[in-house]
């Protein structure tokens, strides 16, 4: 692999790490939000949903702006905005202003997936894209893991807002470095919205996005409640709960790299091969939700959550790799936006539902709900694999 390959992958991954530290700091801070503003588990879920809603609302407009102005400018501006919004979250004096700040933070994170995916598929040759996607996606779990340690660790030494302020400063520094060092393609001068009518007429793609709704529900809820659950039900300290979330993200990173590598090297039809990997990940994730629901000790929870992270947080790279077997290269930007919108939309309804069940019945029922959602996703993915794609030259083959 040449120098330009690694330059692109490392810069985009570093950008993603910084952006994800900002975004996922909100998930790591749920115990502090609860204590500071006197929130129930349901209202903690509302904070997560508000963050995700901002992301969902602005995902398509941000994607259109990436097409118009190019990923270099939009990713730079997006990271500057993320750093600023992270500082606003730390300075929120009331719950209403906290919700406003996390909404802004979520909306600016909408530059991430369209911009970084465009950078990978525009600058990396077919045959190396899945591995590059896996590495880039490690930036999401890596950034989230760092945020968990940063927010919960500094809270015990300084104050809970300290991690947010440090994340904000780091984002501004990386934004400047990215603008100077990245030399990827620019935009085409036109802000285009995806042709969803054409995309949704592609049955395997449609079913993949519907499965993404359930996969996203499991992913965002897991990251949103891990710290709070380990602190409340397992009775670990907040700092140790942050370590558990960091392990979830670490093993999710390993899962993304391993499955990205397998997607490139295993033999067989790409749609069946990569789709089969995603099915296995999803079913294993459902099993691990049941295991998490049954754990009662600190060590047991640490191991269970780590394995859960490998599967549930490890499938987003493969999700997009499956997508690349179903759509043309010139549709990949719009397809990515639609797929990410599906994942994100799952994070709108699931966290409050999880929190409500935890308040009314208990956490066990909440984790079993996530297991059921992932099983539904797995069933849909079987049809994704079995229905032949109508696309003759999909993006995964460089068509």
Q: Which CATH class is domain 3-397?
A: mainly alpha
pLDDT of residue 285: 93
Tokens of 181: 């060092």
Length of the chain: 399
33 CB-near residues (< 8 Å, 6+ apart): 39, 44, 47, 98
* Cα–Cα nearest to 171, from 10, 9, 15, 11: 15
Q: Which stretches of the chain drop beneath a pLDDT of 50?
A: 398-399
Whole-angstrom CA distances from 140 to 23, 184, 219, 293, 382 are 9, 21, 12, 25, 27
Residue with tokens 């500057």: 80
Q: Give per-residue burial for 58-78: e unless 16+ CB within 10 Å, then b.
A: bbbebbbbbbbbbbbbbbbbb
- For residue 25, with 0-12 CB atoms within 10 Å meaning exposed, 13-18 middle and 19 or more buried, which class applies? buried
325, 126 contact by CB (below 8 A): no
pLDDT of residue 132: 74
Domain boundaries, the chain: 3-397
Query: What would the pLDDT profile of 53-66 be if each residue is shown by its tens digit?
Result: 888 888 777 777 77
Residue 112 three-state SS: helix
pLDDT of residue 317: 76
pLDDT of residue 397: 59
pLDDT of residue 101: 93
257 CB-near residues (< 8 Å, 6+ apart): 131, 134, 135, 138
pLDDT of residue 330: 64
C-alpha–C-alpha distance, residues 236 and 78, integer Å? 36
pLDDT of residue 399: 45
Alpha-carbon radius of gyration of the chain: 20
Calculate what percentage of the chain has a pLDDT beyond 90: 24
């Amino acid at each position: 692999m040449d120098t330009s390959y690694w330059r692109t992958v490392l810069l985009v991954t570093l950008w993603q790490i910084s952006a994800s530290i900002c975004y996922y700091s909100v998930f790591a801070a749920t115990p502090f939000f609860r204590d500071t503003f006197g929130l129930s588990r349901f209202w903690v879920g509302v904070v997560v949903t508000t963050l995700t809603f901002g992301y969902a609302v602005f995902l398509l407009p941000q994607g259109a702006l990436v097409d118009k102005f190019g990923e270099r400018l939009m990713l730079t501006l997006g990271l500057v905005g993320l750093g600023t919004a992270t500082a606003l979250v730390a300075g929120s004096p009331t719950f209403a202003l906290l919700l406003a700040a996390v909404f802004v933070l979520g909306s600016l994170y909408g530059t991430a997936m369209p911009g970084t995916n465009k950078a990978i598929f525009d600058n990396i040759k077919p045959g190396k894209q899945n591995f590059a996607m896996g590495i880039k996606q490690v930036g999401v779990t890596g950034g989230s893991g760092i945020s968990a340690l940063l927010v919960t660790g500094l809270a015990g030494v300084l104050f809970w807002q300290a991690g947010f302020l440090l994340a904000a400063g780091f984002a501004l520094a990386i934004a400047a470095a990215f603008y100077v060092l990245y030399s990827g393609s620019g935009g085409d001068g036109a802000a285009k919205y995806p042709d969803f009518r054409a995309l949704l007429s592609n049955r395997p793609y449609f079913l993949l996005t519907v499965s993404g709704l359930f996969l996203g529900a499991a992913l965002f809820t897991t990251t949103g409640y891990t710290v709070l659950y380990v602190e409340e039900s397992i009775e670990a300290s907040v700092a140790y709960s942050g370590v558990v979330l960091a392990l979830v993200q670490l093993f999710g990173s390993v899962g993304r790299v391993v499955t990205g590598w397998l997607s490139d090297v295993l033999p067989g039809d790409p749609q069946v091969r990569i789709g089969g990997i995603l099915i296995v990940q999803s079913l294993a994730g459902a099993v691990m939700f049941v295991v998490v629901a049954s754990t009662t000790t600190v060590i047991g929870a640490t191991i269970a959550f780590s394995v859960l992270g490998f599967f549930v947080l490890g499938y987003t790279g493969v999700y997009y790799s499956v997508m690349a077997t179903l759509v043309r290269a010139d549709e990949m930007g719009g397809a990515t936006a639609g797929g990410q919108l599906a994942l994100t939309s799952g994070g709108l309804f699931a966290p409050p539902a999880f929190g409500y069940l935890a308040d009314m019945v208990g956490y066990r029922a909440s984790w079993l709900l996530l297991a059921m959602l992932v099983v539904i996703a797995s069933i849909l993915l079987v049809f994704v694999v079995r229905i032949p794609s109508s696309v003759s030259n999909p993006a995964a083959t460089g068509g």
